[in-house]
A and B are shown apart, each in its own frame.
Chain A
Amino acid sequence: MAQMNLLQAINSALVTAMTEDEKVMVFGEDVGHFGGVFRATSNLQQKFGKGRCFNTPLTEQGIIGFANGLASHGSVPVAEIQFSDYIFPAFDQIVNETAKWRYRSGGQFTCGTLTIRTPYGGGIAGGHYHSQSPEAFFAHIPGMKIVIPRNPKQAKGLLLASIRDDNPVLFMEPKKLYRAAVGDVPETDYELPLGKADLVKEGTDITLLAWGAQVEIIEKAAAMAEEIGVSCEVIDLQSILPWDVETICESVCKTGRLLINHEAPLTGGFASEIAATVQERCFLYLESPIARVCGLDTPYPLAHEKEYMPDHLKTFEAIKRTMDY
């Protein structure tokens, strides 16, 4: 075990993957010598050479197109999109190419070895072009997996699993926590399973569900709720697609209540998908409507970041409303 922040954990995962498999290649804007704008790829070029860790020109559609071709060759690309706000020029390549490569060729060819890493989310005074949480757009694409870690230990284990998974994975990193989240991380090679939620804390009255940076928000709200006698079960979804319906429904059937918190705007957010599925499966167990505490349906603001955010206070109030329904 070593104390690492989330960036160091990502870096440790990349070093592990590149050491173990020489087909792993890491590239993107400024990721080479500079180590990426957040330094997640620090020292990889020095360790593994310019052939395996390199800068690309400034073209997101080019990075993903190149990565698709490289993956279809059998190499193992880990492509970085510098900010998830800038992933949209690559949307066509991801939606129409990455995700459908295996299906359209009847399994003859695949992009399954591709992992796309991208920092997402707010909390860094980044305004609307450095703060978005676009996971729901990608959750609509059959053929992709979407994974979001919440702390350094999860980040390393989930990233290694993503790189080695035989499906294309969009790995979204909560940039607010890059340096803020510090914890014990095994220095060994380990994987955490994709598609599995993580039960962070058990409780009996209400299930609180979030992912990425929002997990610490619902934990904080849960602590406030405990003080007024509400026992909260806290779950980190970890994988948005495919998502762990079993763990969530089991918990909701036990607690009878569900609150979903995400940073992305409310309308069409992934909370909607979860709420619809849970009400289908757990209808008779529900004691109150499923609550969604999400970002506003506005672009992510700069000066009003705190007001926009589905923070612990908004979550606490929603817990009380749900309990009092």
Chain B
Amino acid sequence: MGFGKYLVVRLLNALVVLTIVTLVMSALFVKVAEKDLENTIVQQVNAEFQSLQQQGKIPEDPDAWRAQRIAHYKEQYHLDKPYWWRVQYYFKNTLTFNFGKTKNPVFGSEKDVVAILKMAIPRTIQLFTTAQIIIITLGILLGVKAAQMVGSLFDRALSVIALVMSSIPMWWFGMIMLLIFSFKLGWFPSRAIPDPNLTGWAHIVDILKRMTLPVATIVIVSFGAWAWVIRNIMIGTMQEDFIMAARAKGVPERKVIYGHALRAAAPPVVTMVIMSLLASLGGAIITESVFTWPGMGRVYWIAIETNETNLIMGLTFVNVLLYLAGVIIADLAYGFLDPRVKVGASENI
């Protein structure tokens, strides 16, 4: 099976998964939204009735008027159609990025779901990508170092840190960071929304200050586990024959490690990088909430709290889409970096 065919099969497969996920999501959301919409309609009709009352224009038959208004809104929200019709309606709209509008504005005055997503995604990327880059750099440096001196004090300390840190809830650590550095010492602001009055250099400094605590939280909680995994991969690679050969040839140790071993260890590391970047794109819902960072996770949380069905649908769809794209990219990167894998993987399809 050639590379092209492999790619096509992989893409088709992802499309099928995407379709099914979207269908299931639609079925679920339509059910959740139903009750919520009914309540909204009753509220809207009540509000209309009250405003009519204030103007002294009370309809002759209030019950009939009410029933007529409710029917009108039901038609507008498609609640008069059967369940499956609504499911396929949502399904089609979602697949075509037609997410609609939210009931209440999110981020100031924005009501359009696509616009909200366009605002939130860059912010999440800004936060998590920065953190991820630091984590990867630290992870590789420390992991390689630990692999070089297996069993040493440094190696053990790193393992302990990795174990302890991976058991800590990131959002809890965020709370502690806020408690210490924001409320006790007052070094950093506790809210992530930047000051709109600042411009130029002051604005950049402001944003950096606001990013410090969340980035530090993410890095501190995650770098240990990363370093540990890289250490394990590196130990495996360092025992291979070609490393021995390189050393025997008299290649300097630095070059052996970073040039030969790390390059050989690249495929799993690259996959990990892509997957963790993707995982972070969805925004760690609670972490962003703790720091009120206005990214994807925060929007997700707002959407769920305020029952913004359209927004939840859009966010989930984009998340799944990004995830699937990432899986494909990771697979391709793996195949590209390590030709042996491609054959094996494609045989399984």
Partners in one complex: no
Interface residues of B, Cβ cutoff 8 Å to A: none
